[in-house]
Amino acid sequence: MRVISGSAKGRSLKAVPGMSTRPTTDKVKEAIFSMIGPYFDGGQVLDLFAGTGGLGIEALSRGMKKAVFIDIEKKSIDTIQHNLRAAGLVEQAEIYRNDAARALKALAKRGEKFELVFLDPPYKMKVTAELITAMEEQGLLDEQVVIVVEHDAQDVLIEAIGGLEQQRRAEYGDTAVTIYRRFTQLT
């Protein structure tokens, strides 16, 4: 695993020890950023169920100003800290060890807003719609938000969640990526 492009291009990233996480492969990461970017001019990214932090780190490397990483596993938190140091991006990051729903409530209390959200829960957890709804209700999503959901290819996510709609879905072996954006207003 490595940072593919941007200011930290080529930096190696460490995987979380053990078998509890499945890091996003470089191929899938490259595909995601070709769909949503590939580069950014500032903004804030939320990497929920962050694992190695690879997606949020890639977003920082490609121009996002700040990233918030959330994971409940201590091994993941330690790995994210290591990977941020390796990429030279520690100053642009906040890392929290917390349950996703509780973390969202805490971020909402602070008035945070995100232009980009990576949502990559364990495949057995079917919480995508619930978490996107919570983020929207709690005011965490910028008007121009892009939400990238990584999930089991066998799962078909709903077309619309609140004010967001599926823009694209792509499969890469056992993994699927679904991208949500706000409904566009017809004029």
Contacts of 14 (CB under 8 A, 6+ apart): 1, 52, 79, 82, 83, 86
In a domain, 175, yes or no: no
Whether residue 149 is contained in a domain is answered as yes
Q: Which two tokens stand for residue 3?
A: 């940072």
**Degrees (nearest 5) of the Cα angle 107, 161, 20?**
60
Count of C-beta atoms within a 10 Å radius of residue 55: 28
Residue 139 lies in a domain: yes
- Full-prediction pTM beyond 0.85? yes
Domain count of the chain?
1
The answer to the question of residue 178 being in a domain is: no
Q: How many CA atoms lie within 13 A of 72 on its CB side?
A: 10
170 in Cβ contact with 31 (< 8 Å): yes
CATH number at residue 136: 3.40.50.150
Residue 58, in any domain of the structure? yes
The verdict on residue 177 lying in a domain is no
The answer for residues whose C-beta is within 8 angstroms of residue 8's C-beta and 6 or more apart is: 57, 60, 61, 87, 88, 89
Each residue's pLDDT tens digit, 101-150? 999 999 999 999 999 999 999 888 889 999 999 999 999 999 999 999 99
**pLDDT class for 19, splitting at 50, 70, 90?**
low
Domain residues for the domain of 38 are 31-155
* Cβ-contact 154, 131 below 8 angstroms: no
Inside any domain, residue 120: yes
DSSP 86-128: HHT-GGGEEEEES-HHHHHHHHHHTT--EEEEEE---TT---H
For 27-73, the pLDDT digits (tens) are 899 999 999 989 999 999 999 999 999 999 999 999 999 999 999 99
**Within a domain: 20:** no
Sign for the CA dihedral angle at 26, 143, 80, 42 comes to positive
